[in-house]
Amino acid sequence: MESEARNQINNNYDKFFYATMCHVCKRFGDGVSLKRCSNCKMISYCSKKHQKQHWQQHKPLCKAIQNVRQGRQGYDMNVRGETPEEWTDIKQMFMLLVSRVLKRRLTMCEMQMFKFPRECLICHERDAQSLKDLTWVFTSIKTRGRGPLS
C-alpha cells in the first residue's frame, strides 16, 4: 500500500512545484538536503538519482532558461523590481521569453517555478548563499530582522 502511494506521488511529480522540496519525491524539511539544478538554479532535488530521473523532462526548460539568461535576450532574473508589481512584471516577462524559446506554452508546474521561486519574501533576493530557510518563507541576510517574522 505504501509503495503504491509512493509510486503515485512519483508518477505525478509534475502536477505542482514547490521551491523547497525535491521535485520528484516531494520530500522537504529537516534532514532533507536539497541541491538545486546547477544550470537553471530553479528546481531542487534530494539526490542525483531524482535529478537524473527528471532530467529528460526538465532538460528543454532548463536549456530555454539558460538561453534567455545568456542569449541575445540577455535577461537577468537577479534584477528585482522596486515594488511587488514590478517584480511580478519581471517574472511574467521571463516566463514569456522562455515560452518563446520553447515554442510552446509553459505548463502549470513550469509557471509555478517562475511565479514562486526560492526567494526572500521582502527583498526578493534569490542567491542561495544569502537565503535562510524558515518554516514557510525565506529571508535574506540583508532583510533579517525586518518584515513579518521579526
Query: What are the tens digits of pLDDT across the range 30-65?
Result: 888 899 999 998 999 999 999 999 999 999 999 999
DSSP-derived letter for residue 33 is: -
Q: What is the pLDDT of residues 133-149, one digit of tens each?
A: 554 455 555 555 555 44
| Average pLDDT, rounded, for the chain | 78
Residue carrying the nine cell digits 541575445: 72
Please report the pLDDT score of residue 58 as a whole number.
96
Kindly tell me if the per-residue pLDDT of 125 is higher than 80.
no
Angle at 57 between CA 53 and CA 61, to 5 degrees: 130
Which grid cell is 39? 544550470
| Chain mean position to CA 140 | 16
Residue carrying the nine cell digits 511529480: 13
Dump strand ranges (E) for 17-130: 35-36, 44-45
Among candidate residues 55, 13, 20, the one with its CA nearest the CA of residue 128? 20
